[in-house]
């Protein structure tokens, strides 16, 4: 039984590791394909989306709870960094630290208030939190600049080194995005990650072993806020101008839908989602008026065709095929048959509780 | 304290609150039938108000005829919504249906943006332009009509759910849709009726809202979400609670704007939403349900 458990754990680790390498590989390769200033600007946007979605994936994909607060948190990070730099003359490096801390604290507060609610009520609470933030960005005119936006944000700099060249701006965001992906990956294969996954998969089973989902989910939600804070600060220093409309309800919806369509809960989901969002942004610049209509149709079709997300759907099919191949392969060798039968029995009776037992602490 | 101002504030709060109440009832009907939050509800209000106003302004259609046509169009959209959600037989859980309703809301809003070309349209009140004097405050006649519409809609729905066979079926679907299906009642049919009712309520709300403000393709989203806050305040799925929640939210917003914090009036609904979810997620008039884990 122990051997079996180790094997399935190893498989998961290998699989997510492979997905992690795809993410990092794309971050390195994509700018090489076309390294003009414009394309680097596009890839920087993509990497910012990647950070946002990696954070969202922790609560949406892994813990299985839809959060519509991510756009508001993104904006809070951007405004926290922008206001620190513009109104309080803090160095950008300090602002980059302040922003995620502020957002994490707010996320934890929202989480404490809403985390005990059932799924759909939690979603509506996060919607409310995101909307309050969005409305405040537009209304607290003295601090945020109101609907006209916050202007005069300096470029990111460390000491005297200013990140104004497109390649440096991309490198900064890409390095943090890759770091974020590694941290998320490590968290997901850790005990905590498995526990979170167990709650996402079967809450009653996880509860039955007496673990508290509240604290774990709060951790996941706080972390998703931290990622949004980093992404927001990077957005502020990259665009050097922020206005409320970037962080509206539509953005919150787009983030969730992009992640769900790509494959929530997979390590490779965020990068696919980020590519999708970037594609939409580029496309929208040419067809502004038709964008919402076309986007809505694409999302409806995608949600109907791939309820588990594109990556999720492909992975499920691939695993089914591999399992089938394995079964026929094992059946061929008589010496293996007894082993197969034993494994099957173990999985059928003890497999699930064994996983939860490990998860419970 | 200036009583004239107070009465003025309350009247304008009731006027908008009645619209929130109609939207909130619509959320409840869909929630009861499918367990999902219908993000299209606000867009029904937009379509009802905008199409009535466009018919009136652009094609000189008489006000009442324009409203009837707008309600018919919105009900058609309600039927199409149900088809778009459940017609492919793949969406089963309330969460996935909820996400799909967002996609449909985006489609409807996008189409409305193209058709209206981002213009705003206005609709006069059926009762004419005159204003009413109440204890030193003046209000449009539409206020009275909106209140009447909200109360009639809630009473009619309460009777419909209690006294008719279809209403009883819908209530049963809310309780246990699987058992209901074993009695040979189609989930799709109940859902379709729920969407027809919700869309009609939305369209009526839109026709009631248009004379108070101007309508554009963008009028629905925020209104819908505020209507949801009103629904949660009164208890999601409870028509009488929706009426109370809508009126209370309307008055709370009007008090904020009337007494100097107009910039923050929009925030009230979402603070109320967060507060009610935190303190009493079943709403003030909700029956006990499991909303916490």
Say what percent of chain A tops pLDDT 90. Answer: 26
> Does a structural domain hold residue B284?
no
Are B277 and A125 inside 8 Å of each other by CB? Answer: yes
Residues in contact with B122: Cβ distance below 8 Å, sequence separation at least 6, in sequence order: B53, B57, B210, B211, B214, B215
Are A296 and B266 inside 8 Å of each other by CB? Answer: no
Greater confidence (B83 vs A320) lies with: B83
Q: How many domains does chain B contain in total? A: 1
Within 275-304 of A, beta carbons closer than 8 Å to B belong to 289-297, 299-300, 303-304
Q: Which of A120, A142, A284, A301 should be substituted to probe chain B, the one whose Cβ sees the most B Cβ atoms within 10 Å?
A: A120
Within 235-254 of B, beta carbons closer than 8 Å to A belong to none
User: What's residue A232's pLDDT?
Assistant: 95
Residue B46 scores a pLDDT above 70: yes
Q: Which of B119, B217, B293 should be substituted to probe chain A, the one whose Cβ sees the most A Cβ atoms within 10 Å?
A: B293
* A128 contact residues in B (CB cutoff 8 A): 229, 270-271, 273-274, 277
The C-alpha of B94 sits at a distance from chain A's nearest C-alpha, in angstroms, of 8
Please give the helix or strand (H or E) that residue B137 lies within, else none: strand B137-140
Are A131 and B225 inside 8 Å of each other by CB? Answer: yes
User: What's residue A266's pLDDT?
Assistant: 79
Give the whole-angstrom CA distance, residue B1 versus residue B30: 43
How many helices (H) and strands (E) are present in chain A, helices listed first? Answer: 16, 2
Per-residue pLDDT band at A325 (split at 50, 70, 90): confident
Residue B252 scores a pLDDT above 50: yes
Place of tokens 């167990």: A198
Q: Are B292 and A116 in contact (CB under 8 A)?
A: yes
For residue A122, give the chain B residue with the closest CA. Answer: B277
Say what percent of chain B tops pLDDT 70. Answer: 94
Q: Are A188 and A66 in contact (CB under 8 A)?
A: no
Within 89-148 of A, beta carbons closer than 8 Å to B belong to 110, 113-114, 116-121, 123-125, 127-129, 131-132, 135-136, 139, 141
* Residue A78 touches partner B, C-beta closer than 8 Å: no
* Residue B225 touches partner A, C-beta closer than 8 Å: yes
The C-alpha of B175 sits at a distance from chain A's nearest C-alpha, in angstroms, of 17
ipTM over 0.90: no
Give the whole-angstrom CA distance, residue A143 versus residue A79: 9
> Does a structural domain hold residue B286?
no
- Tell me which of A88-97, A141-150, A281-290 is least confident: A281-290
Tokens of A152: 């005069």
pTM higher than 0.90, yes or no? no
Greater confidence (A144 vs B141) lies with: A144
Which domains does chain A show, CATH number per domain?
Answer: 2-359 (1.10.3470)
Q: Are B214 and B152 in contact (CB under 8 A)?
A: no
Q: Which residues span the domain enclosing B45?
A: 3-279
Q: What is the mean pLDDT of residues B244-261?
A: 88
Q: Are A108 and A215 in contact (CB under 8 A)?
A: no
Max mean pLDDT range (A59-63, B133-137, B253-257): B253-257
> Does a structural domain hold residue B36?
yes
> Does a structural domain hold residue B184?
yes
Per-residue pLDDT band at A105 (split at 50, 70, 90): very high
Are A118 and B263 inside 8 Å of each other by CB? Answer: no
Which of A128, A292, A304 is facing B109, going by the closest CB pair? A292
Give the whole-angstrom CA distance, residue B14 versus residue B230: 13
Give the whole-angstrom CA distance, residue A257 versus residue A251: 10
Within 109-128 of B, beta carbons closer than 8 Å to A belong to 109-111, 113-114
Which of B88, B113, B274 is facing A125, going by the closest CB pair? B274
Instruction: Return the axis-axis angle of helices A37-57 and A269-286, rounded to nearest 10°.
Output: 130
Give the whole-angstrom CA distance, residue A60 versus residue A38: 32
A155 three-state secondary structure:
coil
What are the respective helix, strand and coil percentages of chain A, to the nearest 5?
Answer: 80, 0, 15
User: What's residue B177's pLDDT?
Assistant: 67
User: What's residue A344's pLDDT?
Assistant: 37
Residue A11 scores a pLDDT above 60: no
Greater confidence (A193 vs A79) lies with: A79
* Residue B133 touches partner A, C-beta closer than 8 Å: no
- Tell me which of A51-60, A188-197, B248-257, B281-290 is least confident: B281-290
Are B106 and A139 inside 8 Å of each other by CB? Answer: no
> Does a structural domain hold residue B171?
yes
Per-residue pLDDT band at A208 (split at 50, 70, 90): low
Per-residue pLDDT band at A287 (split at 50, 70, 90): confident
Query: Residues of A263-301 as b/e, b for ≥16 C-beta within 10 angstroms?
Result: bbbbbbbbbbbbbbbbebeeeeeeeeeebbbbbbbbbbe
**Across chain B, what does the average pLDDT equal?**
85
**Across chain A, what does the average pLDDT equal?**
79
The C-alpha of A308 sits at a distance from chain B's nearest C-alpha, in angstroms, of 10
Residues in contact with A221: Cβ distance below 8 Å, sequence separation at least 6, in sequence order: A59, A63, A65, A67, A107, A108, A110, A111, A115
Say what percent of chain A tops pLDDT 70. Answer: 81
Per-residue pLDDT band at A353 (split at 50, 70, 90): very low
> Does a structural domain hold residue B290?
no
The values of phi and psi at residue A162, to 5°, are -95, 135
Residue A9 scores a pLDDT above 90: no
Q: What is the CATH number of the domain that holds B272?
A: 1.10.3470
Q: What is the mean pLDDT of residues A263-279?
A: 85
Are A256 and B107 inside 8 Å of each other by CB? Answer: no
Q: What is the DSSP string of B74-112?
A: HHHHHHHHHHHHHTTS---SHHHHHHHHHHHHHHHHHHH
> Does a structural domain hold residue B287?
no
> Does a structural domain hold residue B202?
yes
Q: Are A359 and A211 in contact (CB under 8 A)?
A: yes
Instruction: Give all strands (DSSP E) within chain A, no chain letters.
Output: 157-158, 161-162
User: What's residue A339's pLDDT?
Assistant: 40
User: What's residue B293's pLDDT?
Assistant: 45
User: What's residue A343's pLDDT?
Assistant: 38
Q: Are B33 and B194 in contact (CB under 8 A)?
A: yes
Are B111 and A116 inside 8 Å of each other by CB? Answer: no
């Amino acid at each position: 039984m122990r051997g079996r458990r180790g094997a399935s754990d190893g498989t998961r680790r290998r699989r997510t590791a492979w997905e992690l390498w795809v993410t990092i590989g794309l971050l390195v390769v994509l700018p090489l394909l076309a390294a003009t200033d414009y394309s680097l600007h596009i890839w920087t946007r993509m990497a910012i989306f990647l950070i946002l979605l990696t954070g969202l994936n922790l609560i949406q994909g892994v813990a299985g709870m839809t959060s519509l607060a991510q756009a508001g948190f993104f904006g809070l990070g951007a405004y926290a960094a922008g206001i620190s730099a513009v109104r309080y003359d803090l160095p950008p490096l300090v602002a980059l630290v302040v922003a995620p801390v502020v957002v994490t604290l707010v996320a934890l507060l929202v989480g404490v208030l809403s985390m005990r609610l059932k799924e759909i009520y939690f979603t509506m609470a996060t919607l409310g939190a995101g909307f309050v933030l969005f409305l405040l960005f537009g209304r607290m005119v003295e601090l945020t600049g109101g609907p006209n936006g916050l202007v005069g944000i300096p470029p990111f700099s460390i000491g005297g080194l200013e990140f104004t060249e497109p390649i440096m701006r991309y490198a900064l965001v890409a390095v943090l995005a890759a770091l974020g992906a590694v941290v998320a990956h490590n968290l997901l294969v850790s005990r905590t990650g498995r526990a979170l996954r167990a709650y996402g998969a079967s809450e009653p089973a996880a509860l039955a072993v007496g673990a508290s989902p509240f604290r774990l989910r709060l951790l996941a939600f706080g972390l998703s806020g931290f990622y949004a804070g980093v992404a927001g600060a990077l957005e502020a220093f990259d665009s050097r101008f922020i206005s409320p409309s970037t962080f509206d309800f539509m953005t919150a919806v787009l983030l969730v839908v992009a992640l769900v369509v790509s494959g929530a809960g997979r390590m490779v989901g965020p990068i696919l989602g980020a590519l999708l969002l970037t594609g939409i942004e580029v496309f929208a610049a040419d067809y502004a008026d038709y964008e919402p209509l076309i986007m809505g149709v694409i999302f409806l079709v995608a949600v109907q065709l791939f309820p588990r997300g594109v990556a999720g759907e492909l992975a499920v099919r691939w695993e089914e095929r591999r399992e089938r191949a394995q079964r026929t392969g094992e059946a061929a060798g008589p010496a293996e048959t007894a082993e197969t039968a034993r494994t099957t029995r173990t999985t059928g009776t003890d497999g699930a509780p064994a996983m939860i037992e490990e998860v419970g602490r | 304290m200036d009583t004239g101002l107070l009465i003025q504030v309350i009247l304008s709060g009731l006027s908008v609150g009645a619209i929130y109440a109609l939207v909130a009832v619509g959320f409840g009907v869909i929630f009861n039938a499918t367990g999902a939050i219908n993000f299209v509800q606000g867009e029904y209000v937009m379509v009802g108000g905008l199409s009535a106003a466009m018919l009136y302004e652009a094609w000189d259609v008489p006000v009442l005829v324009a409203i009837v046509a707008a309600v018919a169009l919105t009900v058609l959209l309600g039927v199409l919504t149900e088809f778009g959600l459940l017609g492919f037989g793949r969406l089963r859980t309330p969460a996935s249906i909820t996400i799909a309703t967002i996609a449909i809301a985006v489609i409807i809003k996008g189409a409305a943006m193209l058709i209206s070309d981002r213009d705003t349209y206005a609709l006069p009140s059926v009762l004419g332009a005159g204003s009413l004097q109440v204890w030193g405050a003046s209000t449009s006649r539409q206020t009275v009509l909106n209140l009447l519409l909200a109360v009639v809609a809630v009473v009619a729905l309460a009777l419909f759910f209690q006294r008719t066979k279809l209403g009883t079926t819908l209530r049963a679907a809310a309780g246990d849709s699987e058992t209901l299906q074993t009695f040979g009642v189609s989930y799709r049919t109940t859902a379709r009726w729920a969407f027809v009712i919700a869309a009609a309520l939305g369209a009526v709300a839109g026709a009631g809202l248009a004379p108070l403000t101007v309508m554009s393709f963008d009028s629905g989203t925020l209104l819908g979400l505020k209507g949801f806050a009103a629904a949660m305040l009164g208890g999601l799925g409870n028509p009488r609670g929706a009426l109370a929640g809508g009126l209370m939210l309307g008055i709370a917003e009007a008090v904020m704007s009337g007494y100097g914090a107009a910039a923050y009036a929009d925030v009230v609904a979402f603070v109320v939403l967060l507060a009610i979810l935190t303190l009493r997620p079943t709403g003030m008039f909700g029956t006990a349900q499991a909303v916490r884990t």
